[in-house]
Amino acid sequence: MSAHTLLSFATVVLFGGIAVPLLFPRWPVSARALWRVATLVLLTLLIQRVVGSPLQPEIYADGAWDRAWQQAVEAGWWIVAARSVAGVARLLLVLQNRSRETQILSDLIGGAVYVAAALAIVDLVFSVPVGGLIATSGVIAVVIGLALQSTLSDVFSGIAIDIERPYRAGDSLWVEGSVEGRVREVNWRSTLIATANGDVAVVPNSVMAKSRLVNHSLPAPVRRTTVEVRLDPRVMPERCRAALDAAVKACRLPLSDPPPAVVQTALRGDGASYEIAFSVAGNEVIGPARTEVLAQVQRHLFHAAIPLAVEGLAEVPPLAIPTSADLLAGSDLFGTMAGRERDLLAALMADLRLAPDERLFEQGDPAEALYVVASGTVGILRREPDGSEIHHRMSPGGSLGAIGLITGSPYAATAKALTPVKAFRLDEAAITAAIEDHPDLAAALEDLARRAQASISSDVAASHDHRDERPDLFLSRMRGFLQRLAADVVREAPR
């Protein structure tokens, strides 16, 4: 068989070895490696018949065209050999481990193999000495490395970050140097972090590799944050911690697991410092949660008569604990009543104290009284027909049970003390006694019903459950309630 015929077969095998994997891109790694090795073996057998060993080829031809053809086939053999070695190396690494480190290592090995193949083609195929080229390229590499030192540092740091994966896009990250936010993108040169101010911080990967990092999204996106307040040092720490604990337990955004904690962190002549630590579901909830906690702290401290400390002032004016009349004046339901009638109801309210987990009333029980929370936090739990439960929290100043008492319907939810609770209780018998002594109170209560009807209508519009608070029935039920009281007064009047 002539040399031209062998070169023709070698050319066909060469193009087939390169083109077939491109035509079937979904081939598995093992099939690609097997095809390249088979192509290399067949091409080696053909080339040995033409130019001898591919490692020491003897290229000779009468014409320039034949010589170029032999060099092209020999160069193709080196390309196929490089692809075969790189494919087998990738196959071995992937079979052992499929991590990102393995993928990067296989890419580096492949790059080194192709560089070696290119040098071999220049030296062995085209007979160009590569010693001077290597030396010259080494000097050029040093010059380029010094010129691109910062860029190369960022690139190699990006490779290290890509291998270790200390963070990824979407993680909430703190970087030493007051950079904090959510990671938007991680590329080979820099990391983009969206801050809480709406800005995007571009941090070079070399800085990221050297800085201390805190990934708030690992192992879970739960964030722990704190709120610090300074209170009057004359108030006993037990009262302060109880009020602050009730305040944070009245909030919706802080998580119950892990539970919040209140600790005293400092004591000075002008104030005692307390720290409230709590957890939230993510970085974006921190701001709203701190706002809610501070609002509840202000509310609970006011009702507990605990003043805030003033820096540089050893004594601050004392606060008075709100009375039952003050609580009624501040409530949405009774705040519109005249002061005289409101004071009459307040004088009939009885003190009630509950320990944690003790219940004011159960869902479905007959409504016998209304309650106004004076201190602590009350949890509201309502069971739905489908088995779900709705939770609410009531802080000092809130009232509950009034609708059931007025309409005669059972309590729509269960009220349970989440912390030590002080409340005021006003039952139907007390209202009957007040109307008996002051008949004008009945007119005041009916006027109260008219004023409250609009707000109840808006509450119904915002609620999904209209069963117990239909505004068109509220006024008539209020009148029925007053008629029952009037009948009781008549029966109890002396004949």
DSSP string, 172-236: EEEETTTEEEEEEEE-SSEEEEEETTS-EEEEEHHHHHHS-EEETTSS-S-EEEEEEEEE-TTS-
Q: How many domains does the chain have?
A: 4
Judge whether residue 291 has pLDDT over 90: yes
pTM over 0.75: no
Task: Say if residue 488 is in the same domain as residue 374.
Answer: yes
pLDDT at 390: 58
Task: Say if residue 328 is in the same domain as residue 476.
Answer: yes
Task: Say if residue 264 is in the same domain as residue 298.
Answer: yes
Assess if residue 207 is contained within a domain: yes
Judge whether residue 246 has pLDDT over 90: yes
Assess contact for 25 and 88: CB atoms under 8 A.
no
**CATH at 278:** 3.30.70.100
Task: Say if residue 240 is in the same domain as residue 268.
Answer: yes
Cβ neighbours of 130 (radius 10 Å): 15
**Cα–Cα distance between 167 and 260 in angstroms, integer?**
27
**Cα–Cα distance between 346 and 327 in angstroms, integer?**
9
Tokens of 284: 């974006």
* 119 contacts: CB under 8 Å, gap ≥ 6: 130, 133, 134
Average pLDDT over the chain, rounded to whole? Answer: 80
Where is pLDDT greater, at 177 or 219?
Answer: 177
Task: Say if residue 211 is in the same domain as residue 265.
Answer: no
**Cα–Cα distance between 388 and 382 in angstroms, integer?**
8
**CATH at 196:** 2.30.30.60
Helix, strand, coil fractions of the chain, as percent rounded to 5: 50, 20, 30
Task: Say if residue 37 is in the same domain as residue 76.
Answer: yes
Task: Say if residue 195 is in the same domain as residue 234.
Answer: no
Q: pLDDT band for 8, please (50, 70, 90 cuts).
A: confident
Task: Say if residue 363 is in the same domain as residue 484.
Answer: yes
pLDDT at 249: 92
Q: pLDDT band for 74, please (50, 70, 90 cuts).
A: confident
| Tens digit of each residue's pLDDT (9 = 90 or more) over 181-208 | 899 988 878 999 998 888 899 999 899 9
Where is pLDDT greater, at 8 or 487?
Answer: 8
pLDDT at 483: 53
**Cα–Cα distance between 487 and 435 in angstroms, integer?**
11
The tokens 């969206």 sit on which residue?
194
* 310 contacts: CB under 8 Å, gap ≥ 6: 270, 271, 316
101-123: average pLDDT: 78
Assess if residue 86 is contained within a domain: yes
* 161 contacts: CB under 8 Å, gap ≥ 6: 186, 191, 205, 208, 209
Among 126, 128, 86, which Cα is nearest to 107's?
86
Q: Give the domain extent around 59.
A: 3-147
Q: Which of 231-235, 340-344, 377-381, 392-396 is predicted with the least confidence, judged by mean pLDDT?
A: 340-344
Cβ neighbours of 61 (radius 10 Å): 15
112-121: average pLDDT: 85
> What φ, ψ does residue 231 adopt, rounded to 5°?
-115, 165
Helix (H) or strand (E) holding 105: helix 100-120
DSSP state of 411: P
Task: Say if residue 333 is in the same domain as residue 458.
Answer: yes
Order the strands of the 213-215 sheet from edge to edge. Answer: 200-204, 190-195, 179-186, 172-175, 213-215
Where is pLDDT greater, at 210 or 95?
Answer: 210
Task: Say if residue 252 is in the same domain as residue 130.
Answer: no
| Tens digit of each residue's pLDDT (9 = 90 or more) over 294-317 | 999 999 999 999 999 998 887 888
Judge whether residue 462 has pLDDT over 50: no
Q: pLDDT band for 406, please (50, 70, 90 cuts).
A: low
Judge whether residue 235 has pLDDT over 70: yes
Most confident of 232-246, 383-397, 410-424, 470-484: 232-246
Amino acid sitting at position 133? L
Q: pLDDT band for 261, please (50, 70, 90 cuts).
A: very high
Task: Say if residue 297 is in the same domain as residue 400.
Answer: no
**Cα–Cα distance between 82 and 40 in angstroms, integer?**
10
